[in-house]
Structure 1
Amino acid sequence: MKREFYIENRKELYRNLEPGSLLIMFSGHAPIKTNDENYPFFTNRNFLYLTGVEQENTILMAVVGDSGAKETLYILPPDAHAERWNGRRIKVDEAEAISGIQDYKFLNEFRDDLSKELFAWDRERVYLDFDRVYEKEPGKEAYELGRYIKEHAPFLKLENVYPKLRTQRTIKKSCEIEAMKKAETITKAGIEAMMKASKPGMYEYQYKAEFDYALAQHGVLSPGFPSIISAGDNNFCIHYYGYKGQAKDGDMILNDVGAVWDYEINDVSRAWPCNGKFSERQKLLYQCAYNTSEYMFKTLKPGVPLMEVDNMIRKYNFEQLKEAGVCKNFDEIGTYMWHGGAHHVGFDVHDAVDGRGLAVPGVVFCVDIGIYHEEWGIGFRLEDNCLITENGCENLSRAIPRTIEEIEAFMGK
């Protein structure tokens, strides 16, 4: 992304904050994994969305005024010894080139500046990113600072900026959509590599190796989220990460994968028989999922309530399964559809957006049809990325083989 993207993201946010308020955002830090080993660092997505800076222990502080904001980015100071061990730290000119922020200080100055700003005569409120999803999830820096402010500056009102950022991230800018389309081409290469290599006796970790290798050839060193790749009975675990199963002749290969480009993630699921030839029962169920997907891409357009998309998928897929003789009553649909049929994608694979309104141009979400028939031993999902356009929608992942005929022809079995 260009620096203008991050500059505009901050300006848009400032316009929605009260003048005289203080905004503080944290990049986060890598938690301890065991003993003296940390997990790899993963930048807080809201911080990244506003700055583009990928470095732990970095803080954005902005004093919001009537016509903009005074911004300061606090970065780690140069430290030759620490950098020798843990890698080079970002320099001021580099951070400015990425983010467009012009005022920089080192991290050890943050506390003094914070005290001055908290007790400024015109300060009324502080915005922090309270992004915890689950009650028992460990609180991060924003929560620690929130407790500090309650104790030392109880006259200030604490506000959660997270809902405002969710709303802002709902509609993708044109550069985000272009990045998603680039990510789709890389995901296509990875899925096709797995299809070409597929054969009975192949282990799940070998499929994963094919996918990871294809991504690396395009400069993507890590997928947008942990890949779900399974065979046979393992397909009946929704979030499966074992990779140790072996495909038996006739098994379906399920994969739920996605590359990332310029921080934009895509999420695609394809399924195929490991031997390259669908059985009659596999064809029957796969066609139900495919017909449902095609129906959704013909139906989705501006004005559709986003909260209704999942229900639309379930109802139409039920009719397909009923016609195929699998289901008799809608009450049975939960036996074969185990998860939701739609979620937003973007900087997160389950993107932090406001999904309560109507579909509008620039919204991107997955159309995810999963069918799991345990009695027949067939479980899979067909998932594509839907971009709402001015007059309808676009399937961003359509180029990845998805019909029975396309899959069998591509696999050449």
Structure 2
Amino acid sequence: MKQSEFKKRRKLLLQQIGPNNIALIGSASTRTRNRDVDYPFRQDSDFYYLTGFNEPDSLAVFIPGREQGEYILFCREFDEKKALWEGAHAGLEGATEHYAADDSFPIDDLDEILPGLLENKHKVFYPMGRDSDLDHSLLEWINHLRSQSRTGVVAPGELVSLEHILHEMRLFKSPAELKLMRHAAEVSAHGHVKAMQICKPGLYEYQIEAELIYHFGQNGLRCVAYPSIVAAGKNACTLHYTENADKLKSGDLLLIDAGAECDHYAADITRTIPVTGRFSEPQKQLYQLVLDAQAAAIGQIRPGMSWLAAHEAAVEVLTSGMVTLGLLKGKVKKLIKDEKYKQFYMHRTGHWLGMDVHDVGEYKVDQEWRLLEPGMVLTVEPGLYIPADCKTVDEKWRGIGIRIEDDVLVTDTGHEILTSAVPKAIADIEALMQAA
């Protein structure tokens, strides 16, 4: 993504912060996996959204109207020895030359420099609660300024959540962001197709997972957006199953929930397929019900519709279908009102999608479900999960877990399904798997 995109975001943020105020946001830190081995570094999404800077031990400062420059980046100084062992890093010069900071200072000099930047500011916009060490330092800097009040120094009088402004910005995707999300969706979709093509009895769940990760990496996307769920048989009734260790058995369904990440932007796709390439009749009935529910939900996605409308449409189709199939008994409206459907469908029908797989952004505004607007991206993922030990339903339904998930962009005139390249109709899935 070009630096001009990050510059636009910073300009919008500075406008919303307002004069005589300051905003601070820290980077992610490296995390130890074991002994002297770290987990792969992944930058904090909010920090990256504003800076494009992909290093730990950094802090971005935004001061509207500051004569010397409104954007300051604290980061690690360039270290030749560290560069030899760990690879290149920007250093102070790189922060200004390559990442468009107006000023850059060593991260080790925070205690000396930050109090001066906070001086005489009215409000501090900051995401309190993410980094306890930085939280503590900020309060110490403010208290230090308060102790100097007799000299005429004024300390900030108010801490304001930066996330409220920033997350509303992130909710609406720009053309540059959508380009990355489309690529993540395309590569992820093709990965799911590959998984369908190799699926057969006798393989292990982790082998399907390996095929997905291999395909993502072969297409330049080396990070998954979240731990892949590859759940065969009754494992699919565990919503966030990630052990991925069981053998695929003839007659089972396989639920695959996996997506790649492209330059910090996520895809999130779920498909449920028959291990043998053909659905049994009970599997087919439940699968078609979930597919119909998803179609009803997607039909509600367009500008001006309530966020909740898609979920309500899915719940109505699922509940009605479960009554028809004998999974639930009673009047559909009463079952919905009493939330009896939650025995087999216990989650919402979707979530925002973006830099985080469960992306930021309020779902309600002034206590009301917000209306959809162009540029928002959300998932649509109804499901049914019939526990293997459920005694209230016919045995033929037990142990079946199904979820179907796509990524959907709200457009000016309706919606666009970003993940439509993965088959989901019964006939299309069976044809693809049998042709492999």
Band the TM-score falls in, shorter-chain normalisation: over 0.9
- In 2, Cα distance between the equivalents of 1:321 and 1:243? 29
Q: 1:151 aligns with which of 136, 143, 147?
A: 143
Task: Identify the residue that residue 392 of structure 2 maps to in structure 1.
Answer: none
Q: 1:96 to 1:355 in 2, by over 3 A?
A: farther
How far the C-alpha of 1:253 sits from its partner, in A, is 0.7
Q: Give, in angstroms, the shift of residue 392 of structure 1.
A: 1.2
Partner SS, residue 342 of structure 1: coil
- CA distance in 2: counterparts of 1:370 and 1:125, whole angstroms: 45
Match of 2:149 in 1: none
Q: Does 1:62 align with 2:62?
A: yes
Q: Distance in 2 between matches of 1:16 and 1:76?
A: 29
Q: Which ranges of structure 1 fall in alignment gaps of 5 or more residues?
A: 133-138
Aligned match for 1:342, one of 332, 335, 350: 350
Tell me what 1:404 maps to: 426
Separation of aligned partners in 2, 1:103 and 1:66? 11
1:15 maps to 2:15? yes
**Equivalent residues in 2 for 1:205-224, closer than 5 Å:** 205-224=206-225
1:126 matched to which residue of 2?
A: 124
What is the letter of the counterpart of residue 136 of structure 2? E
**Amino acid of the residue matched to residue 27 of structure 1?**
S
Single out whichever of 63-72 and 222-231 deviates more from structure 2. Answer: 63-72
Distance 1:30 1:324, change over 3 A: same
- Could you give the per-residue CA deviations for residues 128-181 of structure 1, whole angstroms, max 9, x where no partner exists? 12365xxxxxx4454233432453345422111011111111111111112111
Which residue number corresponds to residue 163 of structure 2?
Answer: 162
2:374 is the counterpart of 1:361: yes
Alignment of 1:380-399 (within 5 A): 380-399=402-421
Identity of matched residues, %: 28
Aligned residues: 405
Partners of 1:170 and 1:111 in 2: CA distance: 34
Task: Determine the structure 1 residue equivalent to 2:341.
Answer: 333
Deviation at 1:98, TM superposition (A): 5.4
Alignment of 1:4-403 (within 5 A): 4-65=4-65, 70-91=70-91, 94-96=94-96, 99-119=99-119, 122-130=120-128, 132=130, 139-154=131-146, 155-156=155-156, 157-329=158-330, 330=335, 331-356=339-364, 357-375=370-388, 376-403=398-425
Question: Are the structure 2 counterparts of residues 153 and 240 from structure 1 closer, same or farther at C-alpha, using a change threshold of 3 Å?
Answer: farther
> Match for 2:2: what amino acid?
K
Deviations 1:62-95 (A, max 9, x none): 2123999611112211112223333321245654
Match for 1:348: what amino acid?
A: D
Unpaired runs of at least 5, structure 2: 147-154, 365-369, 389-397
Return the alpha-carbon distance in structure 1 between the equivalents of residues 264 and 11 of structure 2. 20
After superposing the two structures, state which structure 1 stretch, 99-108 or 395-404, moved more.
Answer: 99-108
Asked if 2 retains the 8 angstrom alpha-carbon contact of 1:362 and 1:388, the reply is yes
CA distance in 2, matches of 1:398, 1:78: 45
SS at match of 2:407: strand
Distance of aligned partners of 1:79 and 1:94 in 2 relative to their CA distance in 1, 3 Å threshold: closer
Q: Deviations over 1:365-389 (max 9, x none)?
A: 0001111122422102100111111
Instruction: Please say if residues 115 and 145 of structure 2, whose CA atoms lie closer than 8 Å, have aligned partners that are also in contact.
Output: no
Between 1:312-321 and 1:213-222, the stretch displaced more is: 312-321
How far is 1:12 from its partner?
A: 1.0
Distance 1:93 1:252 in 2: 55
Partners in 1 of 2:132 and 2:85 — Cα distance? 25
Aligned-residue CA RMSD (Å): 2.1
Greater mean alpha carbon deviation, residues 186-195 or residues 342-351 = 186-195
- What is the rounded CA distance, in whole Å, between the counterparts of 2:63 and 2:160 in structure 1? 14
Describe the shift of the 1:68–1:326 C-alpha distance in structure 2 as closer, same or farther (beyond 3 A). farther
Question: What is the DSSP-based 3-state SS (H/G/I as helix, E as strand, rest coil) of the residue aligned with 1:277?
Answer: coil
How far apart are 1:258 and its partner, in Å?
0.8
* CA–CA separation in structure 1 for the residues paired with 2:171 and 2:34: 37
The secondary structure found in structure 1 opposite 2:70 is strand
CA distance in 2 between partners of 1:175 and 1:188 (Å): 20
1:25 alignment partner, SS class: strand
CA distance in 1, matches of 2:175, 2:67: 26
CA distance in 2, matches of 1:354, 1:94: 35
CA–CA distance in structure 2, aligned partners of residues 93 and 294 of structure 1: 52
User: In structure 2, how many angstroms separate the alpha carbons of the residues matched to 1:13 and 1:316?
Assistant: 42
CA pair 318-11 structure 1, distance change in 2 beyond 3 A: same
Asked if structure 2 preserves the Cα contact closer than 8 Å seen for 1:14 and 1:68, the reply is no
Quote how far apart the aligned CAs of 1:109 are: 3.1
Structure 2: distance between partners of 1:141 and 1:9: 27
Residues 382 and 404 in structure 2, CA contact (< 8 A), matched pair in contact too: yes
Check 1:91–1:151 CA distance in 2 against 1; reply closer, same or farther (3 A cut). closer
Tell me the TM-score normalized by structure 1. Answer: 0.92
What is the distance in 2 between the residues matched to 1:309 and 1:164? 26
Indicate the structure (1 or 2) with the bigger Cα radius of gyration. 2
| Cα 1:395–1:131 shift into 2, 3 Å | farther
Once the 2 structures are TM-superposed, how far is the Cα of residue 408 of structure 1 from its aligned partner? 0.5
